[in-house]
Amino acid sequence: MIGVIITILLVAILCAKFYKNAYIRPGENFPPGPPSLPVYGAYWIVLLKQINNLGGSMRKIAREYRTKIVGLYLGPYATIVIDDSKLIKEGLFHEDFDGRLDIIVARLRSYWKKLGIFFTDGYFWHVQRRFSLRYMRDYGFGRREESLEAVVANETKEMIDMAKNGPKYPVEHEMVKGDLIYMQHFFAVPFINGMIHIFARTTLPRSEYKVLFDLAREVLLFQRGTNDFGGAITLTPWLKDLMPGYSGYRDMRRGNQALLDFFDKVIKQALATHDETFDRHFLDVYIRKWKEEEHTVKRTTFSEDQLQLVCTDYMFPAATGVQAVLSLLVERLLLHPEVQDKIHEEIDRVVGRDRLPTLDDRRNMPYTEACIREIMRYEPLVPLGVPHRAMKATKFAGYDIPEHCVVSFNYLSLHHDKEIWGDPENFRPERFIENGQLQVSKDKSLPFGAGKRLCAGETYARQSMFQVFSGFMQAFTVSTADGKPLKKPMRKIQGIITTLPEFWVRVTPRY
């Protein structure tokens, strides 16, 4: 009898403690949100609402609590998710929200140090971002540059030739089989070689495409490493030792290491041939600055490891993000063949078939450009963005936001706001066109973010996507591999970015 009473008391104490912890808040004036459950806090509830669509899940929670800002605990992290279009834009420009989280995903990719640009903040981030953007711009990153445009055009020609005339090298048989091409990675080479050109003023020839295709595969492993339940590794890092495979740690480590190893070779080659009197490329500029500060600055932010991470950070979106966008767009063409017909009509009318489309044609091809903008609105690549961190306690939208609070922005809510778009559930490129002209002012989407944390590769991504996609569509008509109409969208894979499962597409030459 005494044992039963003791058991009941222990259960009651545990229930009371659980209830108390479930509703603990970092302050009285913290935004409303779901309770915290053991270990992962409200992350359980977020997954339960919609496991493979975290942006959609947060929209449901915001509506349930009738709030524009959801406050919750994700594991040990006090977190706010901004779910209102106006407040998203305001928060992106809030200077107190420019921090980044010191989490395992950031550490494992940078030798367990705080390196790179993507996951750093403060003085270190400011110096490295400003320097890299200032000098990468000289080699075509962030502006239009003739040699870079020529590289992307040449790689697009090779891509078209591979699909039209068949593989020339063994690795290409993995991308092309008869009149079928393999998505995601078919589009990889123009974007990756474009970035290599910016860094080192060189590219890998078609005979070495295996290196680039392998790189694209490996980097995608990292991007998908936090797929579904895999996000738990951020909240419970010890899973990397207990469940390295299931937690996504093994794939993230492998994918990131592939990029580090690649740039280790590129940088060592640049170092071996470096001439302090002449800058051949961005790597030379960085090496010269690093060598200067090595002897003159007590705590320099420049180093060989940091240069590796700078290159890695800028390459990640090029190796996976932009080709993921084009894969999503190809899926839309399969769902809406009439969109493909309009693209073909515009290309034939403006460019013809005797030359590739160029960036000069972009202003005269509003529909093609609008399709690229619309897919980035319709399918946000990173629905909740890369999490920010409150660098100090602050006020926002009437709430108290504690120091180190995680700040996320629900871009899905912004991109599917009926007050802005009218019919956001429809894929309709025409929404950006008026009187036959592209109206950039009508594009209220923020696929690259905004504020100081704006994606530095926006210009490169927009320009190169236009070149590659318009060249591809000039050459081919796309259809499903089995010839049957695609009736519904494929299931998305939600990792760090949103991707489609690998699939084959039939391409029919147009000339």
- CA distances (Å), 88 to each of 66, 85, 459, 505, in order? 17, 5, 22, 37
Q: Is 401 a domain residue?
A: no
Q: Identify the CATH number of the domain in which residue 492 sits.
A: 1.10.630.10
Domain count, the chain: 1
Q: Is the pTM of this model over 0.75?
A: yes
Q: Is 109 a domain residue?
A: no
Q: Is 265 a domain residue?
A: yes
Query: Any idea which residue has 């704006």 for tokens?
Result: 454
Q: Is 466 a domain residue?
A: yes
Q: Is 39 a domain residue?
A: no
Mean pLDDT by 10 residues, the chain (511 residues): 64 54 83 93 91 90 97 95 97 96 88 93 96 95 94 98 96 96 94 97 97 94 69 86 87 91 96 92 96 89 96 93 96 97 98 96 98 97 94 97 97 97 97 96 96 94 98 98 94 89 96 89
Q: Is 90 a domain residue?
A: no
C-alpha–C-alpha distance, residues 72 and 408, integer Å: 11
Query: Any idea which residue has 């079928």 for tokens?
Result: 180
Phi/psi at 447 (5° precision): -65, -20
Q: Is 295 a domain residue?
A: yes
Contact indicator for 389, 380 with CB cutoff of 8 Å? no
Nearest to 126 by CA among 370, 443, 456: 456
Nearest to 450 by CA among 414, 397, 496: 414
- 405: annotated binding-site residue? no
What is the CB-side half-sphere exposure of residue 391 using CA atoms within 13 A? Answer: 11
Task: Quickly count: other Cβ atoms within 10 Å of residue 54's Cβ.
Answer: 23
SS3 content of the chain, % helix, strand, coil (to 5): 55, 10, 35
C-alpha–C-alpha distance, residues 486 and 480, integer Å: 7
Nearest to 192 by CA among 317, 328, 376: 317
Angle at 251 between CA 303 and CA 499, to 5 degrees: 100
Confidence (pLDDT) at 229: 46
Q: Is 202 a domain residue?
A: yes
Nearest to 118 by CA among 315, 255, 287, 278: 315
Confidence (pLDDT) at 207: 96
Range of the domain at 293: 115-381+416-509
Q: Structure tokens of 372?
A: 């690229």
